[in-house]
Chains A and B, each alone.
Chain A
Amino acid sequence: MKYVLFVATDPAGEPTDEAPEAWVKKWNDRGVRIEGMPLKPVGEARTVRVRDDHVLVTDGPFAETAEWIAGYDLIEAADLDEAIEVAAAHPMATGGRMEIRPVEALDLGAGTENVPHEGDMPASRFLGILRTEPSAPPFTPAREAVAAWVREGLATGRYLGGEHLRPVEDATLVRRRGEELLITDGAYTDGPGSVSGIVFIDGAWQEAIDYLSRCPMARSGSVELREFRTDFS
């Protein structure tokens, strides 16, 4: 079963000097970790929304909390306990929070294979974090519209892959504080909206924003655009 781990900062976390390299190597070697990348700090995030056919691009992340997503990892674990073991071993479980989200298979039809790239260093430059937003006008993206958006992205080389996540009710939060492993129900922010998926995008900022503004989820929620850190080795 596939899980996305959101690596999130947490002001209440305990400072740790441990670098994630050992963690990456260990779980790569076991074939559990499929891929993952750290993101540039949240200061450079953009949030894209489409309301009444107007594209609204705002600076900053979708949630205005002190904590934010610092990276993601995609893993293949036997069950939640194994996913928890993987998440708990990450240094950011001590310094921040790890949110575990089961991935949902979403069949959008032919020509839309949601196969993320492999390896440590994805070709993509951006991660789009799709998010629901209760305050958005009622709008349910049609499967065909999403499929068309994916096909267009694949054809133009913008869309590199993505994952659709199971609802936030199935999120599990893992933290290490002191000697204790804290496993709790829920997502890293208790806001009314929730992350519903991720997509990998290639292109320059403006191209990425243009492409994301056509994502159906920009209408029913928002899309946070985040650049990958490139100094990661």
Chain B
Amino acid sequence: MTFSLTRKKTYSLRPNTFWLLAPAVLLLILWTQIPFVLTLYHSFRRFNLLNPERQGFVGLENFHSQLTDPIFWTAVQNTLVLVGSVLFVTVVLGLVLAVLFYQDFPGRPLARTLVISPFFVMPVVSALIWKNMLMHPVYGLFAWIAERLGREPIDWLAAYPMPSIVLMVAWQWTPFAMLLILTGLQSLSREQLEAAKIDGANAWQEFRFIIVPHLAQTLSVVVMLETIFLLTIFAEIYASTSGGPGLATTTLPYLIYLKAFGEYRIGVAAAGAVFAVILANIVAIFVLRMIGRNLQGGRA
């Protein structure tokens, strides 16, 4: 019912607004699609900035070169591992923190501000802080603590490169998840919780059967937004591990950067970018479907 109503409404508006909207829409199309079309164009060309003599169309050679390159598949795998692990950590931690901050306790506003602050640190700055002040095996805080405890300091970025990056990124994004989940929690009626308490529910049952189902929509929005942002994570890797050691933290965005600005192979980089778009779309389809199901479930 509601669906047909809104549709009718837009229909009646369309003749008036179309020409007014047209310039903006056109600009938006040009703005977003010209770079993409150029990327597509270059992905079919041999184009090495340093070698102007060998240029021209090579058909699918760039794509073939990427698909047969084991480095490329390692990068795809790393990207998925990074996004998946960060999502898991941020959602779990965000949920726990949100439930804690939902309670009343003295000094809550201050504590909340402190908890949110990592999100406002610029990614490069945060990466440099983690790399040099915390994880550095000679000067870092972790090394200092290890030495006080009489243990050998760990070279985090060499020994556990991917977990270290996950830790840095999760540190940044947990406040984001927590904020959204807290907003979702605040729309939960206290009466419902009280009623559950009167019925004899313990804290865990309250959490499992009232809070989590109530948060289903919020959680799926968190997952979707974070997936979009996390697929393009770059600064943390650039500033801390440079994709290494070996290929341990080379993700798809970092690989594209390497091809374009480390090796000046624009054609190959463009082919990689086209794959990144495809990958993002595949992930988006899955995530959107999951969210769609949850939203429908929420309405019913």
Asked whether A and B interact, the reply is no
